Each structure stands twice: as structure tokens, then as C-alpha cells.
Structure 1
Amino acid sequence: MIGGYIAFKMKCNRADVYQAAIGGCLADCGMAKLPPSLLNKRESLTADYYKEIHAHPIFSYKMIKDSSIIKDSVKVAVLEHHGRLDGTGYPKRLKTKPMNLFTKIIAVADVFHAMTSERAYRKKQSPFKVLEMIFHDDFGKFDIAIVKTLLSSSLIFP
């Protein structure tokens, strides 16, 4: 829903707001293909475990790729939502082509949600602290206009 909210605040049309919300909701659906023991680990992950987790966007994409109600650009965003503007991220590095708007929105929404949510391996963090970290620590990784949109709305959103 955070992706839809960002799209709304960016004055996207209603259809694109819905698509951003749907894409954000489905971005991590591929986690359902991973073993629960991996998802509930409290200790540090090994390289092999990271490799498994890094496959979830591919699983997510495969689960939705044939849907006729999801725009192709949103399907790509689901696949690429862990990519970053500086070419880092997974499942593939994205230095060779620009990210579409849905990818950029869902990337910010996903990291914001992940960091403000309780996890087996860490406590949730304050939305304001997370926004500060995204804005400063991850500068250059996310679209600054999208980060500023979420930042400017943060007082009313939580």
C-alpha cells in the first residue's frame, strides 16, 4: 500500500496508483517459495542462504508474469524491486538500463516497509529513522524525488 500512496502523492493517475499498490503487495510473494526455516532464522545468514533469498524476486515475477491485470512495467518492477540506481542490488545489476517508475517506487516502499517492520532477526525501526537512513545513508541508490515524496508525507502517513 505504501507504493500506491507514493504514486498518489506523486500525482500519478488512478490506474497507476492501483498498479503501484498491487506491485508493492506482490513484490515479495516469491518468499512463499522459500523454506520457512530460512525465513525465520535469527542468526546471520550464510552465502548460500543469501543466494536463496536473492531468488525471491524471480519467483515473484514467475508467479505473476501471466496475469492480464498487471501492467508489464509493474511485472518488471516486481522482478527488479531490489535493484538500485547505482547498479547494486539483485537479482541482476541494473546499470545497463534505466529503472521504470514503478520499480523506483516499489524499491523505496519495500525498503521502508522492511525496515519499519518487526523481523525474526531484528526489531522494527522508527519510520523517521528509516527515512533518514534512506535519505542519507542510501543516497544515490533510490530516486531522490520518490524519497522526498515519502519524506514529505511521513508526518501524516504513519
Structure 2
Amino acid sequence: MVPLLENATQEKREVFRLHNYSTSWDYLYHHSVAMSVMGGYLAYKMDYEYGEWIQVGLAGLLSDAGMVKVDQRVIEKDGPLTEREFEQIKLHPARSYRMVENIQALSRPAKLAILQHHERLDGTGYPLRLNHAKIHPYSQLIAVSDMYHAMSSERVYLPKHSPFKVLEEVLKEQFGRYDPTVIQVLVKEMTNYSTGTKVRLSSNQRAEIVFVDHTHHTRPMIRLEEDGEIFHLKEYMHLHIEEILE
């Protein structure tokens, strides 16, 4: 993983396109790698030292190791989980931690990140319902990466969403649950497009960005490729950017 993490720092666009490579049947395996690469990348962009962002990346890779102890029928279920089934899922961070706690190559903060990657700043997470004062910063890097990749990927019983729609959801609905600094870095890195960038819209139309509105990061002004019409996406809430093309 270390060479992959190092390479990811030079391949920003690919980091945020990892969701394109997974399908519902192999999601669980891709998800661990994606959490690793994204978590390490975000830590790198937040000026963590080399050894630290590598540790964050390794923590992301191993965060879901405890899922191996969950009943396979629960993992593969193609519908909403029952409360009892979800209780099984909620045990996986602690199980992951137990599986890695004696690995000397992992730092203590990395192990805490594995244990705490489903904790939320407002105390609504699991397995320990910790609040912001007791949550290690590494864990929030993994948590945000986990949430972003999960929402933008195809899963067994949930459709995938556009990464930009996911960002809007995060900015609108998740306030107070995730570290705002990590969220800001994610938004900045994903929406750091320039004038002339080619995009594909949710309507499947191709367009070019002509103006970036920094008060609405996910909704720039665009020019449609087919007829040259220019409009501001913030005024057309039924449309959103599906992906950046070039």
C-alpha cells in the first residue's frame, strides 16, 4: 500500500474517481483500499508529516478488517438491515481494533483511528458513542473518506450518487458530525477546477466550466457543449455535475 499511497499524492483526479472502479459485488474490498488512499491523501493535503499520512492510509485499509467476523448473509443482504443485523455491523470497528492492536508497524493513533472511524463528533456514532473531545483526528480523516466513497459507490441495496451531489449532502446535512476542517479540504480538493474544465452533467450533457463561484463550490457557471447555452448551476437545482472529464 505504501507505494500506492505515495503515488496518490500526485494523482488527485484518480483519488476522487475510485468509486468508478467498484461494483456492488466487490464493493467491500474496493472500499478498504479507497478509504486508505483517500484518508492518506487528505492527511497529506493537511500537511501531516510523511510518516503520519502513511499511518492514516494504513489505518483506512484495515478499518473494516473486523467485517470478516460478520455473518456473510448480513454483508450480502440486498435490502435494509434489521436492528439486530445492524448491531452485528456496529461491532466491526472494535473487532478490527482487536485484530491490529499488536501490530508494531501501526502507531497508536492509527489503531485509535481504526477503532473510532464510525464515531461522530456529536456523539451519535459507534461503537462507543464518543464525542469530539475523545475522538482522535486521524479517525475523522478515515470517517470522511469512508462516508464519501460509500455514498458515491454502487452497493448491494443502495444506488451510487454523483460525487458532487454527495458533497452537497455533506455540506447540508452532516454539519456537526464530521471535522469541518477535513470536510473543507475534501470540498476544496474536489472542486478545485478551473475555467475551461470539461464536465458531464446528471442530464448526460457535456459542458465547460466558465466561472467558478466560490460561495457555491459544487455549482459553477457552465456552457453547454451542444448549443453554447450558459447558465449557473445554482439556479438549476435539479442538475448537478456527474463527473469531471478533463
Q: Deviations over 1:63-110 (max 9, x none)?
A: 111010111111011111101000111001113833211011111111
- Over aligned residues, Cα RMSD in angstroms? 1.6
Which AA in structure 1 matches 2:49?
A: N
Q: TM-score, normalised by structure 2?
A: 0.61
Q: How many residue pairs end up in the alignment? A: 158
Is the partner of 1:132 in helix, strand or coil?
Answer: helix
Is the partner of 1:82 in helix, strand or coil?
Answer: coil
User: Looking at both structures, which has the greater relative contact order when contacts are Cα pairs under 8 Å and sequence separation is at least 6?
Assistant: 1
Q: Report the counterpart of residue 68 of structure 1 in structure 2.
A: 104
Q: Report the counterpart of residue 142 of structure 1 in structure 2.
A: 178
Q: Report the counterpart of residue 105 of structure 1 in structure 2.
A: 141
Aligned mates of 1:115, 1:7 — CA distance in 2: 21
Q: Report the counterpart of residue 190 of structure 2 in structure 1.
A: 154
Query: Residue 54 of structure 1: which of 84, 90, 114 is its match?
Result: 90
Matched, 1:45 2:81: yes
Q: Deviations over 1:21-59 (max 9, x none)?
A: 111111111111112111111122111101001001111
Aligned mates of 2:97, 2:151 — CA distance in 1: 23
Aligned mates of 2:162, 2:132 — CA distance in 1: 35
Aligned mates of 1:96, 1:2 — CA distance in 2: 22
Aligned mates of 1:25, 1:38 — CA distance in 2: 21
How far residue 155 of structure 1 moved from its aligned partner, in angstroms, is 3.8
Q: Report the counterpart of residue 114 of structure 1 in structure 2.
A: 150
Aligned mates of 1:96, 1:13 — CA distance in 2: 23
Matched, 1:16 2:52: yes
Runs of 4 or more above 4 Å deviation: none
- Please list every run of 5 or more consecutive structure 2 residues that lacks an aligned counterpart in the other structure: 1-36, 193-243
Q: Deviations over 1:125-156 (max 9, x none)?
A: 11111111112101000010100001100147
Verify the 8 A CA contact 2:121 2:132 in the aligned structure 1: no
Matched, 1:132 2:137: no
- Please list every run of 5 or more consecutive structure 1 residues that lacks an aligned counterpart in the other structure: none
Verify the 8 A CA contact 2:152 2:161 in the aligned structure 1: yes
Aligned mates of 1:62, 1:134 — CA distance in 2: 31
Structure (1/2) with the larger helix percentage: 1
Q: TM-score, normalised by structure 1?
A: 0.94
Aligned mates of 1:151, 1:139 — CA distance in 2: 13
Query: Residue 87 of structure 1: which of 107, 123, 133 is its match?
Result: 123
Aligned mates of 1:97, 1:77 — CA distance in 2: 14
- Rg larger in 1 or in 2? 2
Aligned mates of 1:67, 1:99 — CA distance in 2: 21
